[in-house]
Amino acid sequence: MASSLRHLAKASVLVASGALMLSACGSSSSTTSSTAKSTPLQTLTIGSSNVFPPTLNPTANASQAIDEVIDYNVLQHLVQLAPNGSIVPVLASSYTVSDANKVYTFTIRKGVKFSNGNPLTPADVVFSMKRVYAPGSTYPYGKIFDVSSVRQVGADQVQVTLTTPSWNWLYDLAAYSNGVILDPSTISTMATDPVGTGPFKVTGEVSNYSVTLARNNQYWGYKPHVSGVVFRYFSNADALNAALESGQVNMIDNLSAPSDATLFKSNPKYKVVSSLTNGKVQLTLNNAYGPLRNKLVRQAILYATDRKAIMDAASGGYGLIDGTDSVPADPYYIDLASEYPYNVTKAKQLMAQAGYSKGFSLQLILPPYFYAKLAAPLIVSELGAINIKVSVSTIDFPLWISQVFEGGDFQATIIDQAEGRDVSNYGTTGYYWHYAKTPQVAAELSAANAAPTKAQWIAGYRKVLKQITGDAVNDWLYIAPFITVIDKDIVGIPTTAYTESYNLSYVGIGGTIPASAKQLGYLS
Amino acid sequence: MQVGDLSAPSVAVRRQSGQPHELRRFLLRRILTLIVTLWLASMLVFVVLNILPGKPAQVILGTQATPSSVAALTAKLGLNRPLVDQYLHWIHGLITFNLGNSYISAQPIAPVIGAALAVTGPLVLAGLLVGLVIAIPLGITSALKHTRRSGIILSGLAQIGIAVPNFVLGILFIIVFAVDLKVLPASGFTTWSTSVTGALESLVLPAIALGLVEGAILARYIRASVIEVLRADYLRTARAKGLRPNQALVRHGLRNASIPVLTVFGLELSGLIIGAVVIEAVFTLPGLGSLLLSSVANRDLITVQDIVMLVASTVLVVNTVVDILYRVIDPRMGLRS
């Protein structure tokens, strides 16, 4: 709860955060140059358990692996999300919001250059933002970029008008890679050499193996305390752990098996940093399938699942027990984890009340992910206790997308709903879990977004969260953790994983980071 | 008779074929069979991949894309055209040595496959070399001594070698040589352009892990083949002429023993390529195996099609060459069959 209060408070200090970031930028050059003289900068090699980025162009593909490397590090946004959850101005030096969250006016930061030497202009910003919603656009997050016009105002401002007012749009612009600002002259080479204004630039790529970034010496802000960063990809957790132990990599950015943290926790050579993501690991229930149409059956399932035991098995106990579609970083977060305490007797009663005391059979389709495979056996035995006979099959992710997500052809699945602030899915017509009250939720969300005050917006969203939890639309299990293992002298990595980007703006091997960066949530 | 034939096989072929056009006709037939097989393989690969559920555009753009973006991307990739058109377009590309552009990165595929081959090619060759270096002495020695305890032990060792999967060996090697002894890299690949020694170092453990198992398999065949030859009449004759057993085997037996081994060798090549896919995953090498797996996961169908056709062509071509060699080594096979 303390953390949720902190996050509620944070949203009101946007300007202050921006100022912090600016002060960080201002103080940076002296810190960096003085240390750079004494010791040559080293290259940071990150062992990543992610898949290799299928392309380096985040505007052409939804893979989070692209955003992890390129977003914020190479390509920057007008505003970005800091690890502490606050929205900070980056390529905009300031911004104003008017017309009840419908019109956003950004003042473009002066003196910023792309890594190829071209200056950043308001025209570049207009070009980049119009490109998202132009006809034939193939940007991956089109659904959350509800813009009707973008135009330059005066010499250094850009004004964005939304189709409908939104309390979420600024967050979406900051958090999702649709917000990247591009140099129009470099569009054709973005797949292999995206050129941006960020602290790093791409210098090399070995397909299915590594992406190399070098420090961008033209960078306008704080310069990271490394000469470059190499992301090396490991499809095999054992090989990745061995690479860290043998010194081939300096850190593991996210343990694919969180329980592996015990291998490193007691070793003084390493630090284990665990944090939360936006990911809601959930047993998704197809509300249109037979017995699952009945709210009592769905509630029985929620009572029958021991979420603590599942989190222990699937993520080594890391994470946070969840009870709705929200994480502590959301301004509207409420803790509903205790709404359905583990209670088999109660679950059986509800099953009997629904007329299913003899149970029914349920097919559980799993995507090929570690957490799903580890959680499934417990789900099978726990639902077995209330006579639901679960049969399990695993399919590959493209098939999951096609059959489960697109086709809605499933009974139940276990998935990490990884997007931030995605409660709007419950108001999306035809969304794969087929929630019966979707139109009602859509109306409530849009009313909340049009609310004149933030408090009313938050109240509206909380009402929706309580409603979906009351209706037991899905069985929200836990919030997925993000576990980093680092050599102990590494500083400046983000202490949370609420963005798709792995922001390395403040990273360093040895040394310290500015106090302002620490306040924004970077590891000191 | 056989002894004489075997000492001059090329003469034998010429003698038996009588006219050179028979050899030409045989080669032509083999090459035609190869082309038809490749064509059938291409159809199979194309059909199987294209009926696979999971639309590339939806996979590429993810769960938050608008339907109009997905439609726009499908059209941009040319995936809204009839399948026959797509097939012909792809095949035309292959015939003109144009592998096309990746659906995902929109970049030409050929350089990507080339870079992956620079890892997998040397890995498979080195694995093969390790396999042969192990198999030939082990197979022959265990055959020569197959009735003695040492032969049985050697044969048992080969059996164990077959039973241990190469990925287990790989993991074992990483623990012993990289993590504990720190003499070789735990995983990964230094590109050839960065450092040739580095690249070679990266391939030592993977090649041994790959080659040991193949060596053990080949050793079993060599052993069986040599034992059979040792029992042959012509070898007894050669020994009766006064040759020592080893001399008789080297001069008259090995060529005969090599015929079945050659067949197995051709088949094992595909085993080595599949083994390389697994070994690449264990040692995180950026080879053809990793490229294939990631392309399947990303539904980069055209890249998958190209790689599968490349591997299929290699295996088919090697098998054709083995088939031809076979008849060159053993003229008894004839050219008509």
A490-518: pLDDT as tens digits: 999 999 999 999 999 999 998 899 999 99
Cβ of residue A33 closer than 8 Å to a chain B Cβ: no
| Res B165 pLDDT > 90 | no
Q: Which of A63, A138, A402 sits opposite B54 (nearest CB)?
A: A402
Nearest CA in chain B to A424: B64
- Low-confidence winner among A16-30, A63-77, A233-247, A283-297 (lowest mean pLDDT): A16-30
Tell me how long chain B is: 337
Average pLDDT across chain A, whole number: 90
Whether A406 and B58 lie within 8 Å, measured CB to CB: yes
What SS3 state is found at A272? strand
Mean pLDDT in residue range A361-380? 95
Chain B hits for A232, Cβ within 8 Å: 188, 284
Q: How far is B99 from chain A (nearest CA, A)?
A: 17
pLDDT, position B155: 73
Cβ of residue A99 closer than 8 Å to a chain B Cβ: no
Q: Which of B59, B175, B290 sits opposite A208 (nearest CB)?
A: B290
Q: How far is B204 from chain A (nearest CA, A)?
A: 16
Cβ of residue A238 closer than 8 Å to a chain B Cβ: yes
Q: Which of B52, B55, B66, B184 to mutate to test the interface with A (most CBs of A within 10 A)?
A: B66
pLDDT, position A468: 98
| Res A72 pLDDT > 60 | yes
Mean pLDDT in residue range A321-330? 94
pLDDT, position B49: 85
| Res A429 pLDDT > 70 | yes
Nearest CA in chain B to A189: B107
pLDDT, position B271: 79
Q: Which of B49, B50, B51, B60 to mutate to test the interface with A (most CBs of A within 10 A)?
A: B60
pLDDT band at A20, cuts 50/70/90? very low
pLDDT band at B336, cuts 50/70/90? low
Mean pLDDT in residue range B330-334? 64
CB atoms within 10 A of CB A429: 7
Chain B hits for A397, Cβ within 8 Å: 59, 297
SS3 of chain B: CHHHHHHCHHHHHHHHHCCHHHHHHHHHHHHHHHHHHHHHHHHHHHHHHHHCCCCHHHHHHCCCCCHHHHHHHHHHCCCCCCHHHHHHHHHHHHHCCCCCECCCCCCEHHHHHHHHHHHHHHHHHHHHHHHHHHHHHHHHHHHHCCCCHHHHHHHHHHHHHHHCCHHHHHHHHHHHHHHHCCCCCCCCCCCCCCCHHHHHHHHHHHHHHHHHHHHHHHHHHHHHHHHHHHCCHHHHHHHHCCCCHHHHHHHHHHHHHHHHHHHHHHHHHHHHHHHHHHHHHHCCCCCHHHHHHHHHHCCCHHHHHHHHHHHHHHHHHHHHHHHHHHHHHCHHHCCCC
Q: Which of A143, A192, A242 sits opposite B107 (nearest CB)?
A: A192
Q: Which of B55, B64, B299 sits opposite A62 (nearest CB)?
A: B64
pLDDT in tens, A172-215: 999 999 999 999 999 999 999 999 999 999 999 988 899 999 99
| Res A10 pLDDT > 50 | no
Whether B76 and A138 lie within 8 Å, measured CB to CB: yes
Mean pLDDT in residue range A36-53? 82
- Low-confidence winner among A13-17, A36-40, A297-301, B77-81 (lowest mean pLDDT): A13-17
Whether A208 and B283 lie within 8 Å, measured CB to CB: no
Whether A235 and B281 lie within 8 Å, measured CB to CB: yes
pLDDT, position A24: 40
Whether A62 and B178 lie within 8 Å, measured CB to CB: no
pLDDT band at A26, cuts 50/70/90? very low
Nearest CA in chain B to A191: B105
| Res B211 pLDDT > 50 | yes
Torsion region of A396: left, alpha or beta (phi above 0 gives left; psi -120 to 50 gives alpha): beta
Give this prediction's pTM: 0.82
CB–CB contacts below 8 A, A to B: 158
Average pLDDT across chain B, whole number: 81
Q: How far is A461 from chain B (nearest CA, A)?
A: 20
Whether B72 and A137 lie within 8 Å, measured CB to CB: yes
Whether A419 and B64 lie within 8 Å, measured CB to CB: yes
What SS3 state is found at A259? helix
Cβ of residue A142 closer than 8 Å to a chain B Cβ: yes
